[in-house]
């Protein structure tokens, strides 16, 4: 069973430091991605139950995320635990943020947007990874995949080699160039905006620094191509 439509990559693991949060979208819906101080990632609806403000504007304190606006704090299960205006209040269990099953795989944070019980396992990819970056395009996933096929990366470890794009599972792809292998997470922000999360499958000893910079240059080329070519030409 494919995991497409269930598991979505939302960020590089390295981009969400412990004690920090960021907002994102999946197919137009708003999510907050945050990591508590113990290092566990969380992906929730980006909406504070109090007045609906974005939780991604808030801040992490220990294993709570606090809303910027009136300071309501939520624990890692999404349950509101503290309301500054009523510090003595035992907060009712009904004040709760919708949370989604979240895992880390292939150097990325993945979220299941379907109910937890029916979700197939998340994409798997064993082995060490080295982050490159998340890059953003004003184009749908199909156009981005097409551009990846027509804008091959040069290998880092060899002179020249063909590049082969293959779907591993759902939104996880592998791009093999010579002896190098990139893992690509395709993230549909909306019908016309896509994030590509790029990591190198391989040891930091080999790729940290120059190898990362090498593939960063490829993401810039890809972005340039998508932004400067008419959509039809990219898809052709």
Q: Is 59 in the site for another protein (CB under 8 A)?
A: yes
Select from 40, 77, 213, 233 the one that contacts another protein (CB under 8 A): 213
Q: Do the strands 29-35 and 80-82 form a parallel or antiparallel pair, or are they unpaired?
A: unpaired
| Measured distance CA(137)–CA(165) in Å, rounded | 18
Exactly one of 68, 95, 161, 165 binds another protein (CB under 8 A); that residue is: 68
The DSSP code for 120 is: P
Instruction: Closer to ligand FES by CB, 75 or 221: give it.
Output: 75
Quick one: tokens of 86? 């009523």
Tokens coding 147 = 């551009």
Q: Of residues 16-55, which lie at the interface with another protein (CB under 8 A)?
A: 17, 20, 22-25
Q: Which residue number, 26 or 145, has a Cβ lying nearer to another protein?
A: 26
Beta bridge partners, 172, equal 169, 185
Q: Please identify which residue in 77, 142, 209, 233 interacts with another protein, judged by CB under 8 A.
A: 209
Cβ atoms of residues 192 and 103 within 8 Å = no
Q: Is 163 among the residues that bind another protein (CB under 8 A)?
A: no
Q: Which value, in Å, is the radius of gyration of the alpha carbons in the chain?
A: 19
Residues 97-126 within binding reach of another protein (CB under 8 A): none
Q: What is the smallest separation between the CB atom of 193 and another protein, expressed in angstroms?
A: 9
Q: Choosing among ligand FES, another protein, none, which partner's interface includes residue 59 (Cβ < 5 to 8 Å by kind)?
A: another protein
What does the binding site for ligand FES look like in residue numbers (CB under 6 A)? 48, 50-51, 53, 67, 69-70, 72
Is residue 83 within 8 A of residue 91, CB to CB? The reply is yes
User: φ, ψ for residue 55 (rounded to 5)?
Assistant: -70, -25
Q: Does 134 bind another protein (CB under 8 A)?
A: yes
**Considering CB distances under 5 to 8 angstroms, the limit depending on partner class, which of ligand FES, another protein, none binds residue 72?**
ligand FES
The CA distance from 56 to 235, in Å, is: 34
Question: Which residues 6+ apart lie within 8 Å of 129 measured at CB?
Answer: 106, 107, 183, 199, 200, 201, 202
Sites of contact with another protein (CB under 8 A): 11-12, 15, 17, 20, 22-25, 56-59, 66, 68, 133-134, 136, 195, 208-209, 212-213, 216, 220
């Amino acid at each position: 069973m494919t995991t497409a439509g269930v598991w979505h990559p939302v960020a590089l693991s390295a981009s969400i430091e412990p004690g920090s949060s960021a907002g994102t979208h999946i197919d137009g819906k708003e999510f907050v991605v945050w990591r508590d101080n113990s290092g566990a990632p969380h992906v929730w609806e980006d909406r504070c139950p109090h007045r609906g403000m974005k939780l991604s504007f808030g801040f992490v304190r220990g294993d709570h995320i606090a809303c910027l606006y009136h300071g309501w704090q939520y624990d890692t299960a999404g349950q509101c635990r503290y309301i500054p205006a009523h510090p003595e209040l035992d907060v009712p269990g009904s004040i709760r943020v919708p949370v989604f099953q979240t895992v880390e795989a292939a150097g990325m944070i993945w979220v299941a947007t379907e109910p937890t019980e029916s979700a197939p396992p998340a994409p798997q990819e064993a082995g060490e990874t080295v982050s490159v970056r998340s890059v953003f395009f004003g184009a749908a996933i199909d156009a981005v995949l097409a551009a990846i096929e027509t804008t091959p990366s040069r290998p880092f470890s060899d002179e020249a080699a063909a590049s082969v794009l293959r779907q591993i599972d759902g939104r996880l792809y592998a791009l093999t160039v010579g002896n190098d292998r990139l893992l690509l997470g395709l993230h549909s922000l909306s019908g016309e905006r896509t994030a590509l999360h790029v990591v190198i499958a391989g040891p930091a000893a080999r790729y940290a620094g120059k190898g990362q910079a090498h593939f960063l240059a490829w993401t810039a080329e890809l972005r340039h191509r998508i932004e400067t070519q008419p959509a039809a030409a990219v898809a052709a």
